[in-house]
Chain A
Amino acid sequence: MGTIASHPTLTGRRWPARHRALRLAVRAADACLDAAGCPPGDLDLVVNAGLYRDRNLAEPALAALVQDDIGAHPEDPHPGGHGTFSFDVANGVCGVLTALQVVDGFLRSGAIRRALVVASDTDPGHGLTERFPFAAAGGALMCRWADGDTGGDSGLGPFRWTNLPDGGESFRATLGPRNGRNRLTISVPSTMDTVFAAAAGRAARDCLTSAGVTPAEVDLVVAAPARPGFTARLATELDLPAARIAVARDVRIHTPALIAALRDAGPLAPGSTVLLVAAGAGVTGGATLYRVPA
């Protein structure tokens, strides 16, 4: 029994004028649902983990707009039906992992049967930015519960987290007044990869220890962010060859990076043990084991 995460889908910018975060998330969600053969009305929950959107939209949750645009029960309640719930989480590049933990909890309790995790980032535009460092990209991941008959001991979990608080020294993104105008400021010091890898490594080791699995027994590590410096240091932290760590091909992808890494890794081998690991601003590291259904 466990949560099955499948059909990682990624959309990038095709038309410069249309790279809205909402549109990217919706395109990824539509493609993911299509690939999974899941009608939008079957979704019980939509969780968005993206951070950078047009005008830095503060409300509603972007997930609600995604829910509306993909047509997952946007209508008012009516007898004999079930609705869809949507909200956003924020945890930097770890956001997708946080969303997976939240979704896993509700699948485990039986509150939901199917959920969609989405994440997208775009330049907030409208005069708020000078140079946006991340790729305009949207990702979506389908999550469903597999019971004992079909799932065995497959699925996600447990999740382990590590915080190495640094007050945003190793990565910070703020929006605030500068020269009389609101501006997005993103600082990426050179120490970022080292600190991120330390947090991710600690969370990953904790996750493996709690599951009684050694790094050598892990078939594949899927990691975010995709920065080469981070990946190399993470390999050292886990005492694994860097070739065993799969990351997104586009290193500029930010919050959808874990979904992109899963997509770029290709089909996961049935029955294999995959370590999902991420690090983000904070510094926060998170990890979970994913046992791919046989």
Chain B
Amino acid sequence: MPNHWLMTEADSRAPYRSRIAGAGRHLPVTHLTTDELMASTRHRTHIDLERLTGIHERRVSVGDEDSYTLATSAALDCLRRSGRPADTLDVVINCSISKCRKGFIHWIEPTMSIAVAGEIGATKAMTFDLSNACAGMLSGVTVLNNMIRQGVVERGLVVSGEYISQLGRNAARHVRNILSRELASLTLGDAGAALLLERAPERAGGIRLAGFTTLAGHSRLCVGYTVAGEPEARMFTKARAIHKAATAAIPPLLQEVLDTVGIGLGEVDHVITHQTSARAIRKGMAHVTAVLGDAPRHEAVISVDRYGNTASTTHTVALIDELAAGRIQPGETIALIALASGLEIGVVLFTADEQLLEQSWAPSPRTQP
């Protein structure tokens, strides 16, 4: 029986290793400030959402984007930056929660991945969708990492497009006060993201560990579903209970990850957690530091202030900001920490290599499928 709590892919028995070879994102052009959103609530809520969450604004589609266009544009951005032709992709995995095409039409079948693969020209890629709430992309990375390590594929794309701001607009009609279970919906923003993984050459940087677990006793704390009479969906969250459960579980799980790769938290250079609220991230990391008696070299990355919670895309959206700002150096270790409804907790630990960092991380010209 495995002696890890996390389902972990880390040891060196696999024939190959994988590396993160590219990242891409696409953000809608429209900014929606928290002040503007809260001014649109039907009820007088008396909630200072910006103070509560640290979110100043998020990007939203105003009908110009949907899950499909966001995912496709992010995939094209990723391929352009990394210089990898689409027809060299062996697999495309779409991991979004929302699957809206042509507005609010949610596609159940066919998959979003086959549509994205077709649009970007990934003609020989196998395709499937993976769904794991806000942990979707990192779950996809965990699956693709395994496929590359086993030699099933050499190169693949994990992609997502989250058109979820409509949940915020729905919630603005229903939220009455700070105790509302739809409060978290007001933090959402839209974004597309893509990560390209490929077989790593010998001694190159790469993914050192991918590990995940589901604390399913907490699986009912955040649920999202479609309501017949309203556009898009609604999400109901017991945010405090999730935060409490995650705060308790993350330190021992992170310690397990560090023990598995044989490093201390002080040897992790950058931590990018799922972006829900700036306050929750800071409090959570302070707790980790207190429990483990060590801290990562840099403060945990915060991007939620600018983009809100963009669901499965948050880690990639934040990573690209860090790369563009030149804050990541070759050889540095980055921990991407997933926290999602389920309760899903996962860690992808990777070393950034020169080939990744030397790509042009300047803001991308607007790419449309």
Which of A's residues lie within 8 Å of B, judged by CB? 42, 44-46, 51-52, 54-61, 63-65, 67-68, 72-79, 81-92, 94-95, 98, 101-102, 105-106, 108-113, 124, 126-128, 158-159, 161, 163, 165, 167-168, 171-177, 180-184, 280-284, 286
> Across the two chains, which residue of chain B brings its CB closest to A165?
B118
Which of B's residues lie within 8 Å of A, judged by CB? 1-9, 11, 13-14, 97-98, 103-111, 114-115, 117-118, 125-135, 139, 143, 146-147, 149-150, 152, 212-217, 219-220, 222-231, 233, 235, 245, 248-249, 252-253, 256, 340-344
Interchain CB contact (< 8 A) of A163 among B5, B117, B134, B216: B117
Interchain CB contact (< 8 A) of B104 among A105, A177, A282: A177
Contact A60 B110 (CB under 8 A): no
Contact B249 A60 (CB under 8 A): no
- Residues A61 and B132 in contact in the complex (CB < 8 Å), given A176-B105, A282-B110, A282-B114: yes
- Please name all residues of chain A whose beta carbon is closer than 8 Å to the beta carbon of B103 when the two chains form the complex: 176
Interchain CB contact (< 8 A) of B216 among A54, A68, A174: A68
CB<8 Å pairs between A and B, sample of 17 = A51-B109, A57-B224, A59-B235, A60-B219, A64-B341, A73-B216, A83-B214, A87-B214, A89-B129, A91-B111, A106-B7, A110-B11, A111-B2, A167-B115, A176-B105, A176-B106, A284-B114
Interchain CB contact (< 8 A) of B114 among A56, A73, A163, A175: A163
- Please name all residues of chain B whose beta carbon is closer than 8 Å to the beta carbon of A73 when the two chains form the complex: 216
Contact B2 A88 (CB under 8 A): no
- Please name all residues of chain A whose beta carbon is closer than 8 Å to the beta carbon of B131 when the two chains form the complex: 58-59, 61, 87-90
- Residues A60 and B223 in contact in the complex (CB < 8 Å), given A85-B213, A89-B131: yes
With the chains together, A158 CA to B150 CA distance in Å?
Answer: 12
- Please name all residues of chain B whose beta carbon is closer than 8 Å to the beta carbon of A113 when the two chains form the complex: 1-2
Contact B105 A174 (CB under 8 A): yes
With the chains together, A111 CA to B3 CA distance in Å?
Answer: 10
With the chains together, A91 CA to B245 CA distance in Å?
Answer: 32
How would you classify the secondary structure of chain A's contact residues: helix, strand, loop or mixed? mixed
Contact B146 A77 (CB under 8 A): no
Interface core residue of B117, B147, B223, B225 (most chain A CB under 10 Å): B225
Interchain CB contact (< 8 A) of A92 among B3, B97, B111, B118: B111
3 A-B pairs closest in CB distance = A176-B105, A127-B228, A74-B217
Contact B233 A58 (CB under 8 A): yes
Interchain CB contact (< 8 A) of A281 among B109, B222, B245: B109
Contact B214 A90 (CB under 8 A): no
- Please name all residues of chain A whose beta carbon is closer than 8 Å to the beta carbon of B8 when the two chains form the complex: 111
- Residues A60 and B222 in contact in the complex (CB < 8 Å), given A83-B5, A176-B105: yes
- Please name all residues of chain B whose beta carbon is closer than 8 Å to the beta carbon of A90 when the two chains form the complex: 108-109, 111, 128-131
With the chains together, A63 CA to B253 CA distance in Å?
Answer: 21
Contact B109 A67 (CB under 8 A): no
- Residues A58 and B107 in contact in the complex (CB < 8 Å), given A77-B253, A284-B127: no
- Please name all residues of chain A whose beta carbon is closer than 8 Å to the beta carbon of B143 when the two chains form the complex: 102, 105
- Please name all residues of chain B whose beta carbon is closer than 8 Å to the beta carbon of A42 when the two chains form the complex: 1
- Please name all residues of chain A whose beta carbon is closer than 8 Å to the beta carbon of B223 when the two chains form the complex: 57, 59-60
Minimal beta-carbon separation of A286 from chain B (angstroms): 8
With the chains together, A61 CA to B111 CA distance in Å?
Answer: 16
Contact A84 B214 (CB under 8 A): yes
> Across the two chains, which residue of chain A brings its CB closest to B3?
A82
With the chains together, A158 CA to B152 CA distance in Å?
Answer: 9
- Please name all residues of chain A whose beta carbon is closer than 8 Å to the beta carbon of B222 when the two chains form the complex: 59-60
Contact A85 B127 (CB under 8 A): no
Contact A128 B226 (CB under 8 A): yes
Minimal beta-carbon separation of B193 from chain A (angstroms): 17
With the chains together, A219 CA to B2 CA distance in Å?
Answer: 35
- Residues A59 and B109 in contact in the complex (CB < 8 Å), given A83-B214, A86-B216, A167-B115: no
Contact A282 B111 (CB under 8 A): yes
Contact A173 B11 (CB under 8 A): no
With the chains together, A63 CA to B226 CA distance in Å?
Answer: 18
